[in-house]
Amino acid sequence: MRMRLILAAVLLAPALPAAGQSQPGEGVSYADILAGFDHPEQWLSYSGDYTGQRHSPLTQITPENVDRLAPVWTFQTGTLSRGRGFETSAITYDGVLYVTGSNNYAWAIDARTGRAFWEYQRDLPNDLTYGRAAPVNRGFGILGNRLFMVTLDAHLLAFDRRTGDVLWDTVLADYKIGYAATGAPLVIDGKVIVGISGGDFPTRGFLDAYDPATGERIWRFWTVPDPGAPGSETWSNPDVLSRGGGGTWMTGTYDPELDLIYWGTGNPNPDYYDEDRAGDNLYTNSLIALEADTGRLRWYYQFTPHDTHDWDANHVPVLADVDYRGEPRRVVMLANRNSFFYVLDRVTGELLLGKPFTATTWAREIGPDGRPIVLNEDGSNGCLPDQWGGTNFYPPSFDPELEIFFVNFRETCATYVPQAPVIEPGVLSVGGVVWVDRDQEWGGLRALDIETGKPRWEFRYPSATMAGVMSTAAGLVFAGDNEGNFAAYDSRTGENLWHYQTGFRIWGTAATTYMLDGRQYVLVPSGAVLIAFALIE
Amino acid sequence: MVRYALTGVFVWLAVSLPLTATAQSANPFEADPAAIQAGRQMFAARCTACHGADAKGANGPDLTEIWQANDDDGRVFAIVRNGVEGSAMPPSQAPDNELWAMIAYLRSISTVPPFVTDGDPARGREIFVENCQRCHRVDGQGGALGPDLSRIAQVRSRDALVESIRDPGASVAEGYRPVRLLTRSGERIVGAVKAEDAFSIQILDTNQRLQGYRKTDLAAIDRDEDSLMPKFGRVKLGERELEDLLAYLGTLRADRADIGGNRR
């Protein structure tokens, strides 16, 4: 009897967490998020760690065995974003996936089997604005036992991860005038950082920090300045400042040592029509580095001054510590919608590299003053990238060992025709139309050398893609395409090693990976399903 | 060939309002020039992101083909009003008059008036059966390698038809673009590309067999040819015979409203 009791106790004892990790019952600590990929059974933020590299150290799946990768389960969400994608990155913690879907659905899913523990659906109003055009969501943030999700009616919600119950509900902005929220919150120590959508409407962008416990706002940074504030002189008409765009709808990254948040900003409004906004239109289409404690601007770099193409800079700013041209540098890298690949010193904002990574006639080069030498603003003198850009918000990845930046690119040919829009709250104000030559559209995956910006290799797709990339230390790059393929490539050569037809374009998302029960899983959303792959046993 | 699509404005219609259909099927604005002009502007603002500036399709289907295929205005109205479940096409809450005006515009660019020819349609039908029917269908008779011509006179002008006959490579619709495949086992296959991705290609071959191929099984994929259709120059098809053929094609304005569904 005594023996049996002891045996039972041993069987019931939970697996001990590794040193420095919190107990599952306590939920996720800031130290857990900070540790990033040190705990390979977890994926605790949009990109998996604060660098945004989306590069996992997992090596069970290799170039040699990846041809044995097969679906283990699929999860059917039953909800689709009309004309868009299933754009989430799943949070993975203690054997559970926390997943957000289209139309503000969300789930907790058993990572072993694909079975849902709970489902949440927000009751959304009928008069959504931007949220009606793009009813997407890109993922949860997590801290403790709380999940954080933004909504199409521009709220920030906190959930209990165990039940799916809403703990608090904070209004970010008035959705009726054009705002919505779609990005995955970035959780740092004691703060939930949240961006906003709506720059295609007459709205004014901001980045916010909230208290994870209460939902109270700690700070707000307006991406279009107040009248008289620094940067306001780059807008010819002060009336436009209150509706100048500059959305912050894609999750940024964080350097805990510098305590700086890096975040991309979107287009000035109206997108294509510029008669009432002469000037550079700061801080639109920029990378901003904000002090995490205060939300104060440390530095900025504007990729596309005075944009008239909807070339948002809402990308994942990828952080890395590298020897750059023989000198140790803390860099931030970004492949921009304007078709240039940039490397900046992330301490100072100094531009180290700006080179085109797709065909473009927009600008000859980036001049010594860090500004593009623009040749062709509207596409009347040769092709320009279309309004979806040379790449888009979907994640790239970076292999720090190879020092290669992997990006799914889009080769397109467009001309822009501005037209004065009606400026009215809640009314779309893109201000023009774009002609796209569909016969000159294609895409692919490129491996960029970060010192030259030149591709070391490329793999071509028949059409321009909106799918993202993840890489692993085993020497694999996983990327989706517009035809619905999810594929693995050799990081060094670009050779395609494996592919799986998911049945729907992979759009606005990239794979994640985690270890569970000694097995490496690779997860990708496609259409209305989430698919988990592992090696056939 | 350059195919432009106008984008940059969102499909701007409600997605979550109660759905209503209409029993009305006749378009009150049919062929009304003012309504067609207004409908053109509304189409440009609301529909082009998916359907293209010329309505010939971008992310969404070619709308100029829907009358060719099967639709009457009432059915198109119901689709625009209700959306298409399970697709990116949302329902609309716009007033009825706006929808009818847009539909009048679409119809105006989708159909053409009857054309004049002094050819003999009976002789033209013989020419068609002899030269064209292997690849083109009329009223269910004929091949599938080329487009169905049952309603071709509704949607193509005389000039467009002459160009398609004399110089078929000048404009080849997606779904009919030619390809020559060489398999690794040495087999040569010619067909029309129906779909393609980075790893595979799906074709209808000249034996009219639907077949998919893995690119790893192919030694070559050659797309040099303009069209699978041969050129019918003046030697092959004299001016008199061309007029006869046009006279026959001009009769092909069949109403096939009994057949439902949209093929993409």
Of A133, A200, A438, the CB nearest to B58: A438
pTM of the model: 0.85
- A307, A409, A419, A434: best to mutate for the B interface, most B CBs within 10 A: A434
Contacts of A455 (CB under 8 A, 6+ apart): A357, A446, A447, A448, A449
Q: Please tell me which of the candidates B1, B52, B196 has its beta carbon nearest to residue A439.
A: B1
Task: Kindly list the residues from chain B whose CB atom is less than 8 angstroms away from the CB atom of residue A153.
Answer: none
- pLDDT of amino acid B54: 80
Which positions in chain B touch A460 (Cβ < 8 Å)?
Answer: 198
The Cβ of residue B23 has, within 10 Å, a number of other Cβ atoms equal to 6
Q: What is the DSSP string of B147-213?
A: ---TTHHHH--HHHHHHHHH-GGG---TT--EEEEEETTS-EEEEEEEEE-SSEEEEEETT--EEEE
CA angle B245, B251, B253 (to 5 degrees): 130
Joined together, the tokens standing for residue A407 give: 């990006």
pLDDT of residue B35: 87
Per CB-CB distance under 8 Å, the chain B contacts of A526 are: none
**Residue B238, C-beta contacts closer than 8 angstroms, at least 6 positions apart:** none
* Angstrom distance (rounded) from CA A468 to CA A479: 6
Q: pLDDT band for position B41 (50/70/90)?
A: confident
Could you report the per-residue pLDDT of B206-246, keeping only the tens digit for each? 999 999 999 999 999 999 778 999 999 999 999 999 999 99
- Asked whether the bond before A270 is cis by omega within 30 degrees of 0, the reply is yes
Highest-confidence segment of A104-108, B47-51, B61-65? A104-108
Cross-chain CB nearest to B59 (options A83, A433, A487): A83
Q: How confident is the model at residue B62 (pLDDT cuts 50, 70, 90)?
A: confident
What's the start-to-end Cα distance of chain A, in Å?
Answer: 38
Q: Look up tokens 């690849």; give the residue.
A: B135
Distance CA(B130)–CA(B135), nearest Å, equals 11
- Which of A340, A217, A241 is closest to A287 using CA atoms? A340
Q: Is A411 on the interface with B (CB under 8 A)?
A: no
Distance from CA of B56 to the nearest CA of A (A): 11
B3:A124 CB<8 A:
no
Asked if A78 reaches chain B (Cβ–Cβ under 8 Å), the answer is no
Residues of B in Cβ contact (< 8 Å) with A440? 2
Q: What is the mean pLDDT of each run of 10 residues along chain A (537 residues)?
A: 43 48 83 96 97 98 98 95 90 97 96 96 93 93 98 98 96 97 98 97 97 98 97 97 98 98 98 96 98 98 98 98 97 98 98 97 95 93 92 98 98 91 91 83 97 98 97 98 97 98 96 97 97 95
Contacts of A496 in chain B (CB under 8 A): 198-199
Buried b / exposed e over A135-151, threshold 16 CB at 10 Å, is bbbbbbbbbbbbbbbbb
Alpha-carbon gap: B184 to the closest alpha carbon of chain A (Å): 19
Instruction: Provide the shortest C-alpha distance from residue A462 to chain B (in Å).
Output: 6
> Biggest alpha carbon distance in chain B?
61
Q: Which of residues 419-478 of A touch B (CB under 8 A)?
A: 428, 430, 432-440, 459-462
**Minimal Cα distance from B18: which residue of A?**
A126
Kindly state whether A15 is in contact with chain B, defined as any CB-CB distance less than 8 angstroms. no
Which residues of B fall within a CB distance of 8 Å from A499?
Answer: 198-199
User: What ipTM does the predicted assembly reach?
Assistant: 0.80
- Residues B68-84 have a mean pLDDT of 78
Interatomic CA distance for residues A207 and A221, integer angstroms: 5
**If you write DSSP's letter for every residue of A185-209 in order, what string do you get?**
PEEETTEEEE--B-TTSS-B-EEEE
CB B237 within 8 A of CB B248: no
User: What mean pLDDT comes out for the span B82-111?
Assistant: 81
Cβ contact, residue pair B53, A460, below 8 Å: no
Contact B197 A485 (CB under 8 A): yes
**Chain B interface test: which of A82, A269, A408, A429 (most B C-beta within 10 Å):** A82
Distance CA A338, CA A522 (A): 31
Question: pLDDT grade, residue B81 (50/70/90)?
Answer: confident
What is the average pLDDT value for chain B, to the nearest integer? 82
> Residue B52: is its pLDDT beyond 60?
yes
Q: pLDDT at residue B259 above 80?
A: no
Please report the DSSP string for A398-427 in residue order: EETTTTEEEEEEEE--EEEEE-PPP--TTS
CB contact under 8 A, B3 and A438: yes
Give φ, ψ of B226 to 5 degrees: -75, -45
Confidence at B85, pLDDT banded by 50, 70, 90: low
B254 to chain A, closest Cα gap in Å: 31
Residue of A nearest to B174 (CA): A439
Quote the tokens at residue A258. Answer: 């510098």
Q: Do A133 and B10 touch (CB under 8 A)?
A: yes
Closest CA to A178 of A421, A428, A433: A428
- A518 in contact with chain B, both atoms CB, cutoff 8 A: no
* Chain pair A-B, CB pairs under 8 angstroms: 95
* Residues of A known to be catalytic: 312
Does A413 reach chain B within 8 Å, measured CB to CB?
A: no
> Taking CB atoms and an 8 Å cutoff, what residues of chain A touch B59?
83
3-class secondary structure, B245:
helix
Nearest CB neighbour to A433, from listed B9, B12, B90: B9
Contact A81, A102 (CB under 8 A): yes
User: Which chain A residues have a beta carbon less than 8 Å from that of B203?
Assistant: none
Strands A432-437 and A414-418: antiparallel
Distance from CA of A319 to the nearest CA of B (A): 31
pLDDT at position B218:
97
Task: Please tell me which of the candidates A80, A83, A483 has its beta carbon nearest to residue B11.
Answer: A83
Q: At what angle do helices B158-166 and B239-249 cross, to 10 degrees?
A: 130
Residue B26 pLDDT > 90 = no
| Residue bearing tokens 């191929």 | B213
Residue owning tokens 């530095």: A299
CA-nearest residue to A84 within chain B is B88
Q: Is A401 exposed, middle or buried (0-12, 13-18, 19+ CB in 10 A)?
A: exposed
Residues of chain B with a CB closer than 8 angstroms to some CB in chain A: 1-12, 14-17, 44, 48-50, 52-53, 58-59, 86-90, 196-200
From A60's Cα to the closest Cα of chain B, the distance in A is 25
